[in-house]
Amino acid sequence: MAKNTLSFVCQNCGAAYNRWQGKCESCGEWNTLAEEDTSGSVPVSIRSKRKGRTFALESLSGRSPDAPRLSSGMAELDRVTGGGFVRGSVLLVGGDPGIGKSTLLTQATSLLARAGHRVVYISGEEAVAQVRLRAERLGLSDAPVQLAAETSVEDIVSTLSEGAVPRLIVIDSIQTMWTDTVESAPGTVTQVRASAQALIRFAKKTGAAIILVGHVTKDGQIAGPRVVEHMVDAVMSFEGEGSQQFRILRAVKNRFGPTDEIGVFEMTGLGLREVTNPSELFLSERDLGTPGTAVFAGIEGTRPVLVELQALVAPTSLGTPRRAVVGWDPSRLSMVLAVLEAHCGVKLSGHDVYLNVAGGLRIHEPAADLAAAAALVSSLVNAQLPTDAVYFGEISLSGVVRPVAQTPARLKEAAKLGFQRAVLPESARGEPGGDAGLSLNAVNSLTTLVAEIAARGSRRGESTPPAEKNATPARFRRGEG
């Protein structure tokens, strides 16, 4: 019998050490090392003794049929997956506790089961009675979904191999699964990796689509070894703020569809409701006529989305001003503030800056730079921005407004929601696709936009005489007053 080899494995990144230490040198996390048996993934007593088999080799000139997809019956979920579930694919879904992962998958499995497909829901965290209570609350108790509460991977594979092959299998969650091939405790890096590998092998062999539910760490990353994300075909993140009823399903990785695609849901008393027009939803409670608000025309995957950016610039009494941002990259906020001060004369070193993306949406594209800068300057000078205008454009370190992709789609979405004008980069004016009937205000540098906004109002707390209002932009650019 092989000798057991014990090592200490980081439960955050999977790095292995031959002795315990408080801090993982690979990821920098503290108290994440746990003792595990790494002598081998399969004990000698159950290792296969057969010789390797030969397999056929094919050329690149062949024609492969398109992968058939299975529609889930939920348009937003199909959008994120790329049109439905591919046979033999494995998807990993992660999200904060209580965000609605189990609710979403319960609704999806119920729709597929009602369509006549064999669907299996295996829970390692809840009993069958608890899953039934959720289905009853959602009004889905009559759906012919097959349920089980099991954590042994060998028992699960053996049970699912009997009878017809299921079209969809949900494993909730992968951190609770364990296999006999390794001797580590459930939830450890070794067990998660071995369990995921066994389930992926079953999916590829039988053609069943499998959804693995994963826990997330305090940083929002899916817990467990990063190698699991490379093993699966798609990784989806279920996001949302606890105080908001909106939920965003985002595709982080997808071998059979576009990445960075999003699906928007609204949490109600009867479960998740699909939102077909997220722009109208995010702008439903918009603050009209308030300084410091700007509408950003963004692109999430292939979908144009309009969202409101809210900024607040207030004098600070602290030695180091605060910089708080929700829903956007803090590094890009720091860059925009530096450009405003270096090239536009906007002095923000004595002010606290707060930036918020309304509705709980997280923005990742740099095209939001122009909208954020407009909202910040509007709040600083107490100037109201046009309520019928949208903003988009990337700001370079030299203060030049750079073009962004898919300008016609952004303008078309803005026109559909009743906006009359758009502030966009100068080089995007002549793009094919038309202006969608909007009045275009093309800006080449951030200084031009700052001067236009500064002409609309004065700094908060100052009273500018009518005769001096025309001189406000020049004084503002010089950083005076």
pLDDT of 260-271, one tens digit each? 788 999 888 889
Sequence-separated (6 or more) residues with CB below 8 Å from residue 218: none
Q: Are 39 and 65 in contact (CB under 8 A)?
A: no
CB atoms within 10 A of CB 285: 9
Structure-block tokens of residue 219: 């940083």
Name beta bridge partners: 199.
none
Q: Supply the pLDDT for residue 362.
A: 86
Q: Supply the pLDDT for residue 481.
A: 38
Of the pLDDT bands very low, low, confident and very high (cuts 50, 70, 90), residue 364 is confident
| C-alpha torsion 171→175→176→179, nearest 10 | 90
CA distances from 294 to 159, 341, 362 (A): 55, 20, 16
Q: Are 425 and 367 in contact (CB under 8 A)?
A: no
CA distances from 160 to 178, 366, 426 (A): 16, 46, 59
Check whether 426 has a pLDDT greater than 50. yes
pLDDT of 43-88, one tens digit each? 444 444 556 678 778 777 766 665 688 999 999 999 999 999 999 9
Number of alpha carbons in the 13 Å side-chain half-sphere of residue 382: 11
Helix, coil or strand: residue 76: helix
- φ, ψ (nearest 5 deg) of residue 114: -70, -25
Handedness of CA 340, 345, 346, 351 (dihedral sign): positive
The stretches of 69-188 forming alpha helices (DSSP H) are 75-81, 101-114, 128-137, 153-160
Mean residue pLDDT across the chain: 84
Assigned fold of 281-478: Ribosomal Protein S5; domain 2 (3.30.230)
| Domain locations along the chain | 6-39, 70-276, 281-478
pLDDT of 289-334, one tens digit each? 789 999 999 998 888 999 999 999 999 888 889 999 999 999 999 9
CB atoms within 10 A of CB 191: 24
Q: Are 24 and 15 in contact (CB under 8 A)?
A: yes
End-to-end CA gap in the chain: 82
Assigned fold of 70-276: Rossmann fold (3.40.50)
- What pTM was estimated for this model as a whole? 0.74
Sequence-separated (6 or more) residues with CB below 8 Å from residue 465: none
Pairing verdict, β 303-315 and 351-357: antiparallel
Q: Which helix (H) or strand (E) holds 296?
A: strand 293-300
